[in-house]
Structures are given as structure tokens and as C-alpha cells.
Amino acid sequence: MKQLLCATFEGIDAKTVEVQFTATKGLPAFTIVGMANTAIAESKERVKSALLSNRFTFPPKRLTINLAPSDIRKEGSHFDLAIATLIALGESSAILDGWYVFGELGLDGSVSENTLLYPIILSLANQGIITKAIVPANALEKLSRIPHIQFYGAHTLNETLEILQNLHPSVHVSPSTFSYPTLTHDEKEYFYHQEYPLDFKEIKGQEHAKRAALICAAGMHNILLEGSPGSGKSMIAKRLHHILPPLHNDEMLECAKLEILDGKEPSFAPVRPFRSPHHTSTQSSIFGGGSHKAQIGEVGLAHGGMLFFDELPHFSKNILEALREPLEDRHIRISRVNSKVTYAANFLFVAAMNPCPCGNLLSKATPCRCSDVEISRYRSRLSDPFLDRIDLFIQMHQSNAEDKPSFSSEQLHQKVRTAFIQQKKRGQERLNGSLTDQEIPKFCPLADEAQKIMDQAIGRFGLSFRAVGRILKVARTIADLEECEEIRKEHLLEALSYRRR
């Protein structure tokens, strides 16, 4: 029996699949077993044509391909090349140990890529279980960005055989690097961009909201913007996306993986994901799901980046309450009869809402048309447990003719990078907004005067344990923006001012 390695998705992670081949005596037949989907079952015709087109003789025996383990569903046309290679090698003495082989075959034996290839290989690399792989040559530019793997590109089935038989050694590709500005700390490089298609200098006034947006970006703190229509809530949210903290190489690769899972070409740019679902979206599209296979949703696709809910109270009550788990635990669990999958969901949550159904409650020029009952019903759609997971509450002011632009996105992004380095210098693996309950006492020390104010606030406002933790994390970010090692009185007071009233 000969075998090569390939892989398939199980949830969002890839699992190694052993492609095993035997040729036994009996009536000529070609069988593929191991819970293969239609794309793999159809590979029999592609494999036959590719072999015969390249002058290989199809063995007159009973050929069996087994995809092990057999209790996992396999999908994808990238199994073609491994299957054809095993049949073509026949009795060859080529050493196949440790070789992963991926590629879809054309009828003439040409090798091409499919959409699952990059996320599968990246997932295997993150798990540390792949060291060398034969892949389609046209995918090398994209795949070579994944570190610690020796890639060998093949244009045809014949080239694949030459690589395995050590007859084509010159196609090895070393991992490429990113050409973006970097910050370096502890021998690690963090990449950032310097392009701002949407700039904060286009927003006039709203200095309080801009300050909160800066704090939000520097520590990845959840924020809720409330204000009348046209006050600039969505403008701030969309510009906030471009000043988020730098990304490590592994994080950029993860972002590229999510882009592919969303059906896009990976950009490999140090820009965090941005997802903005409409309030009519279904619960499955937000959190993921599916009857046979759990698909990733908007929450999972926003991992490492930003999830923006505009018109927050118009989202389904079930969606808002289900959002409490990923906001607290930084992951989402999808349970179905056929599969149970856990997705990473560590994202910045940004929301915008009107103060009342008609939107004019805070307006000085237009009277509000809503009754007290309508306003109460509108606000009651947001439960206290849900709101308790939001760090910053900002009430937007109406614009006037005297408002002028102030900070640009480039200036704000520079401050975010300063705070980012401060967090890394303390040895934090996570940004301030994601610190655990065990890490808060270690990384958020209060000065004596600030501690007294915190004790008074707990007693006066009846703050919950979660609320205290979130206030301390916001105060930590404010101190980082001023490059202070200790949280002082003024930092804590500003953090308290952003709490929900």
C-alpha cells in the first residue's frame, strides 16, 4: 500500500487526510471510499483522462483509494493530484513519507488550484503539522507567504512525479515577506498601513466622540455611539476601521484566510477585517450554521477586526442576546446534530443607534414625535447584560456651522501605535480590551488616589465585577496613550465618564 497526505476542512480547521492506494487482483474497477463528496467522486473521470493523456497505462486491476480517517466528510477537488500521483507511481520506489500533495487536475494532466487550498494549508501550518507540500504552480505567489513550509510548484502531473522522484529539485520556493512599514518589539515585527481612504479630518466637530474613538481603537474596546441622524455616527465607525492596531505576520495570514472563506482574493495587507451586516440579517448569517456543515458567519469573519452594527435596536432580540457570548468569551460555539464547531471571535464591537424611533430626541431644531412608551419600548430592546459588555458609551452632539476639522486619521493612527507598543512592553499577548480577569490586576495597577476614587465609584454606582474590570481596562488604555506606567486619577475619571448612565 502506498499513501500521500492531503487535507480537508472540519469546521474552520483543516484535518490531515491519508490518501491510501492499493491495486489488487480482480475485475478492473476504480473505487474511492472514505465519505468523499461529489467533487471527489467525480475525480475518477479526471484522473483517468489525465493519466491516459500523458501515456500512463491504467492498471487492469481492482484499484481502491481510501481517504482516512473514514469518519470525516471530505470535500474539494484538490484531492485529484494525490490520487492520480499514487496510481501513476505504481511500483515506483519513490519515498512518499511526509509529502502533502494538493491540486485539481485538468483532463490533459494540468494542475490548478481551488478556493479551499490556501485556508487549508494555512490551518495546517498554524497547527504545525505540515513541512513540505506540492501545490499548483499558479498558487505559489499566494501560498509562499505562509512561513515554515517548503513549497514545490507543479504545472502538470508529470512535474509532480519528477518532484517525488527527485528529478525536479529546482522548484522549491522560500516564504516571501511583506513590504509594509513595521514596528519591532522583542524581535517580533508588527505591520501597519499608511493609507486612509476615509479620513477623520473629514469630520467636523465631535471632539468628544473622536477622543472615544481613539481610545476604542488603541485598546480594541467595544463602543456604542448614540445620536441624531446625520450627527456622524457611521462616519466615525467607518473611519475607525483604518486606525486599528498593527498586525503580526500570523495575524495577517489569518485575515487572508478569512477573506478567502468569504469568497474574496486575499490582499495580505495589514488591515483588520471589517464586517457590517444589515439589521435584517438572519441569526445563522451572523453567527454561522448549517444543517450538515457549520459554516462561518459574520461574527467569525470579524475575528481580529471590527464588527459594526448600525441601527442597533433594530437587530433581532435573539441576535443581540446571542452576541453576549462572543463579546465575553471571544469565541462562538455552533452546535448541530452532525457537527459541533467552535470559532474564534475576538473582535472590536462598534454599534450606532438613534436616541428614539424618530431620531430627534436630542435635536434642538426638530421636535421629537415619539411618546414615552415608544421611547421606552425602543430602548428596552437592549438588555442590561448586553449593554454591560460595552466599554464606551458616547452621545453625539448636533453639528453646527462653527465646527471645524481637527485630527487626521494619520495622527490618530500614530497615537494608536504608541499605545500598542506600551502594551507590548508590559508583555501583554492581548490588547487591553481583551485582558482576562486574571490579567487585570497584573497589568492595570492603580495609583493610591485613583484606587480611592475606584472604591467610591463602586459604592456610589453599584458597579458589577464586570463593569469594574472594563473601567480599569479603558483607564489602562488612556494611560498608555500618555505613555504612563501607572493608572492615575485623571485616567480613571475619564474612563468613568464613558460609562453608561
Distance CA 5, CA 120 (A): 13
pLDDT for 493? 96
β-partners of residue 136 are 154
Q: Grade residue 58 by pLDDT with cuts at 50, 70 and 90.
A: confident
Q: Grade residue 59 by pLDDT with cuts at 50, 70 and 90.
A: confident
pLDDT for 264? 85
pLDDT for 116? 86
pLDDT at 351 over 90: yes
Q: Residue 218 has which C-alpha cell? A: 488603541
Residue percentage of the chain with pLDDT more than 70:
96
Please determine whether the domains at 2-173 and 196-279+297-313+341-434 fall in the same fold group of CATH.
no
Tell me which residue of 126, 128, 130, 57 sits closest to 100, measured CA to CA.
130
Region at 304 (left for phi over 0; alpha for psi -120 to 50; beta for the rest):
left
Average pLDDT estimate for 428-435: 94
Asked if residues 267 and 259 have their Cβ atoms less than 8 Å apart, the reply is yes
Average pLDDT estimate for 22-35: 90
pLDDT at 172 over 90: no
pLDDT for 337? 66
Query: What share of residues in the chain are helix, strand, coil (percent, to 5)?
Result: 40, 20, 40
Distance CA 61, CA 33 (A): 17
Strand 62-68 relative to strand 223-226, pairing = unpaired
DSSP 412-481: HHHHHHHHHHHHHHTT-SS-GGG--TTTHHHH-PBPHHHHHHHHHHHHHHT--HHHHHHHHHHHHHHHHH
3.40.50.1000, 3.30.230.10, 3.90.1300.10, 3.40.50.720: which CATH number matches 2-173? 3.30.230.10
Task: Specify the fold of 196-279+297-313+341-434.
Answer: Rossmann fold (3.40.50)
Average pLDDT estimate for 381-402: 89
pLDDT for 55? 84
pLDDT at 252 over 60: yes
pTM of the model: 0.87
Distance CA 134, CA 159 (A): 10
pLDDT at 250 over 90: no
Average pLDDT estimate for 231-237: 93
Average pLDDT estimate for 282-302: 83
pLDDT at 426 over 70: yes
Higher pLDDT, 337 or 285: 285
Would you kindly state where each structural domain of the chain is located, as residue ranges? 2-173, 196-279+297-313+341-434
Q: Grade residue 333 by pLDDT with cuts at 50, 70 and 90.
A: confident
Q: Grade residue 294 by pLDDT with cuts at 50, 70 and 90.
A: low
pLDDT for 291? 60
pLDDT for 50? 93
Average pLDDT over the chain, rounded to an integer: 90
Distance CA 120, CA 100 (A): 12
Q: Grade residue 199 by pLDDT with cuts at 50, 70 and 90.
A: very high
Q: Residue with C-alpha cell 484522473?
A: 47
